[in-house]
């Protein structure tokens, strides 16, 4: 069952690999909530799951206005066709993406491919005053094989922040072109908990994550798909470890064993870092998840890399506060944080070397 407090719900999945929650259902259900004359904004890296595509098409056919932006790379052939006939020949790794894209277009959904020369890495939807975000790509692998999370927040202020970001995306303000817009990240209270959305590169999420790390008093737990030495987050974790904070993490096996990965310097500093995923039917450790002191949780699409902070389009969502809070707030944010930390523990226990 998803962990929920008031208007914040966290899904940790997939169930196919022993996690608590189905990841496909909250995505399809979110789209299914959209009613005639409402507007559903969708900003995602790719769509290759037929159930998600069908939900989008069904929403459009019942009169929902849908604005969709996706990464164009998954719609292109693997190589430039040599002839006109080649360009019309179906096939290849991403043919399902193209088939679903065409079906969505035929439903008269307003679809745009991104203009970002780097990676359009967002994974969020906005409907009215509700936001769905997290690490989960709208793909069959994303919802059934990779270890991921989905977060749903019902709050007008949070939704406004994501709507503003979506409008920038639709205007082509990606990467370095979106830095100077002047909006500052705003934190709000949602069901008594502090919630703060930030967008990269506009708000420099890396600095926010480092700031929260340096507030830790007891422990930091993380599960990350890509964690590069080009990020400053590894330095902040090492500093926390040297100050007596317990730091534990798990990385995706393939990414974590790359020469550029932060795994080696973290281990050399004495931090316990495991790798998991990529064996048997299990896909990637695709989370971008950090829990601090079992009180504050950082969700979202943001990988711990320089490109994520400087050029890709990303978001993070911070739930909780490490400053002094009342007992009710600590209990609420702690329920969410502990569930996420327990999922990190489960991944390490069940899948890590």
Q: What would the DSSP string read from start to end of 173-209? A: --GGGGGGG-PPP--EEETTEEEEEEEETTT-HHHHH
Note if 313 is an active site residue. Answer: no
Q: Are 72 and 165 in contact, with CB atoms under 8 Å apart?
A: no
Q: Phi and psi for 249 in degrees, rounded to 5? A: -150, 160
Q: Catalytic: which of 293, 294, 313, 321?
A: 293
Structure tokens, 260: 């550029």
**67, 149, 288, 313: which is the annotated catalytic residue?**
288
| 80 is an active site residue | no
Nearest in space to 94 (alpha carbons), one of 120, 76, 117, 106: 76
Is 286 known to be catalytic?
yes
Q: Which of 11, 121, 263, 286 is catalytic?
A: 286
Phi first, then psi, for residue 178 (nearest 5°) are -110, 0
Question: Which residues belong to the active site?
Answer: 286, 288, 293
């Amino acid at each position: 069952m998803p962990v929920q407090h008031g208007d914040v719900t966290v899904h940790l999945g997939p169930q196919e690999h022993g996690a608590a929650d189905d990841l496909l259902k909250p995505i399809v259900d979110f789209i299914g909530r959209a009613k005639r004359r409402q507007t559903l904004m969708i900003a995602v890296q790719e769509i290759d799951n037929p159930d998600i595509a069908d939900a989008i098409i069904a929403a459009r056919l019942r009169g929902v206005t849908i604005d969709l932006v996706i990464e164009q790379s998954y719609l292109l052939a693997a190589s430039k066709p040599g002839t006109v006939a080649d360009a019309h020949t179906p096939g290849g790794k991403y043919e399902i993406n193209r088939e679903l894209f065409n079906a969505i277009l035929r439903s008269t959904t307003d679809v745009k491919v991104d203009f970002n020369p780097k990676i359009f890495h967002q994974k969020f939807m906005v409907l009215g005053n509700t936001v769905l975000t997290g690490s989960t790509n709208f793909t069959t692998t994303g919802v059934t094989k990779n270890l991921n999370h989905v977060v749903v927040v019902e709050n007008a202020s949070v939704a406004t922040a994501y709507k503003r970001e979506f409008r920038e995306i639709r205007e082509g303000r990606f990467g370095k072109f979106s830095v100077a817009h002047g909006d500052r990240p705003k934190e709000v209270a949602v069901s008594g908990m502090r919630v703060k959305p930030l967008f990269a590169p506009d708000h420099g999420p890396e600095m926010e994550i480092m700031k929260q790390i340096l507030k830790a008093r007891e422990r930091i737990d993380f599960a990350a798909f890509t964690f590069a030495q080009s990020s400053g987050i590894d330095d902040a974790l090492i500093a926390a470890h040297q100050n007596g904070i317990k730091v534990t993490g798990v990385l995706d096996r393939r990414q974590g064993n790359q020469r550029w990965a932060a795994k080696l310097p973290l281990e050399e500093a004495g931090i316990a870092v495991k790798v998991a995923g990529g064996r048997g039917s299990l896909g990637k450790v695709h989370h971008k998840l950090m829990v601090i002191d079992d009180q504050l949780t950082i969700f979202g699409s943001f990988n711990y890399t320089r490109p994520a902070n400087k050029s890709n389009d990303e978001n993070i969502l911070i739930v909780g506060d490490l400053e002094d809070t009342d007992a009710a707030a600590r209990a609420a944010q702690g329920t969410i944080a502990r569930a996420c930390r327990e999922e990190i523990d489960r991944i390490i226990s069940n899948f890590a070397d």
